[in-house]
Amino acid sequence: LIYQDQPVNAGSGFLLIRSDASSAPSLVQLATNAPNSTYFRLNATSSHVVYNNYNGELYTAPISGGNAVMLANNLATNTLDDFILSPDGQTVVYRTKSDNVSKVFSVGIHGDSDPVELSLMNTTIFISDIPKFEISPDGAYVVFTFSKNSENWQELYAVPIAGGEVK
């Protein structure tokens, strides 16, 4: 069971997590500048919770307790609108939008590396929208669709989850 508490003091928000009915809930403190999450997910190993706040910032925190780490903080002009976790629980893939332009990034769940843009193309094509993105079952690739320029049709692409050539 996992849920978000909504305390009176919004700066002290936290998630309550209980792994089974026989133990007391463990608390995971949200970063004080990210008091309320819009949604959150547990990674596959149940070791971390990943969440975003109303400012579009992306955070991770260990389920065992400890400080939250900001995974994406360069979103001042972008809106973080979705994120997914790799099957091994070690990578977060997220999408941002700004002025109707979508970008997809990956970042390690521990926050020890900078995000890598996955939607970079060696072309002058204007990527206007990436409506859907998924991680392959083996966790090796991120697959996404996008519309080129202002076309009304979608193309399917794949890129290694750590970054690389878009195919």
Tens digit of pLDDT for each residue in 41-96?
888 888 888 888 767 788 888 877 677 888 886 555 567 778 899 999 999 999 88
Q: Look at residue 9 in the predicted model and tell me its pLDDT.
A: 45
Answer for the pair 157, 146: CB distance below 8 angstroms, yes or no. yes
Q: What is the C-alpha separation between 109 and 111, in angstroms, rounded?
A: 6
Query: Residue 121: beta bridge partners?
Result: none
Establish how many alpha carbons lie within 13 A of residue 132's alpha carbon, considering only the half-sphere containing its beta carbon: 7
Q: Is the pLDDT of residue 106 over 60?
A: yes
6-38 pLDDT per residue, tens: 554 444 455 656 556 666 666 666 555 444 566
For the beta carbon of residue 137, count every other beta carbon within 10 angstroms.
Answer: 8
Region 128-137 average pLDDT: 84
- DSSP-derived secondary structure letter, 77: T
Q: What is the C-alpha separation between 14 and 63, in angstroms, rounded?
A: 11
Q: Which two tokens stand for residue 81?
A: 């609108």
Q: What is the C-alpha separation between 142 and 146, in angstroms, rounded?
A: 13
Q: Look at residue 10 in the predicted model and tell me its pLDDT.
A: 47
